[in-house]
Amino acid sequence: MSARKDGSPATPRMEERLYQNRYLVDDGRPHVKINRREGGDSEELKSLIRICPAGCYSLNEDGRVEVAPDGCMECGTCRILCQDTGELDWSYPRGGFGILFKFG
């Protein structure tokens, strides 16, 4: 991570930020999935591109929201924001998988 002139750290990219975290990814069993809604994604789902603290949400080539929960910190923000739209299928990772906090 490079530093600014004044010695403060530059804004890290998400990969750098999550790099220090420990994860045990449950390959092939994502614990957050999107139920595609006809007629486009809700504003709530779109908001997650900015709001998800782990940056798990992005826009694909078709302009639809996608989720890749490998870096998920299991906070539940997306679940709570999208509870009324029904677009998210959210469960905790299987026991032992997911994020492992060193300091918490």
Partner 1 sequence: MPEHFDAIVVGAGPSGNAAAYTMGKAGLKVLQIDRGEYPGSKNVQGAILYADALERMIPDFRETAPLERHVIEQRFWITDEKSHTGTHHRNDDFNEERPNRYTILRAQFDRWFSRQVRATGVTLITETTVTELVRNDAGKVIGVLTDREGGALYADVVVLGEGVNGLVGQRSGLRPEIRPDHVALAVKETHFLPEESIRERFNLSNENEGVVIEVLGSVSSGMIGTGFLYTNKESISIGVGCLVKDFAEKQIAPYELLDRFKSHPSVRPLLKGSEMKEYVAHLIPEGGYDAIPDLTGDGWVIVGDAGQFVNAVHREGSNLAMTSGRIAGESIARLKAEGRAFTKANLRLYRDALEDSVVIKDLRKYRKIPRLLKRNRQLFTTYPQIVNRMMQSFLRVDGQDKRAKEAEILRGVKAARGSWFGVAGDLFKVARAWR
List of residues contacting partner 1 (CB under 8 A) = 6-9, 11-12, 14, 17-18, 20-21, 24, 44, 47, 50-51, 53-55, 73-77, 79-81, 83, 90-96, 98-104
32-34 vs 57-59, strand pairing mode: unpaired
Residue nearer to partner 1 on the CB measure, 24 or 59: 24
**Closest approach of Cβ 85 to partner 1, in Å?**
12
Closest approach of partner 1 to the CB of residue 60, in Å:
19
Own/partner long-range contacts of 12-16 (Cβ < 8 Å, ≥24 apart): 14/54, 14/55, 14/71
Q: How far apart are CA 25 and CA 96, in angstroms?
A: 10
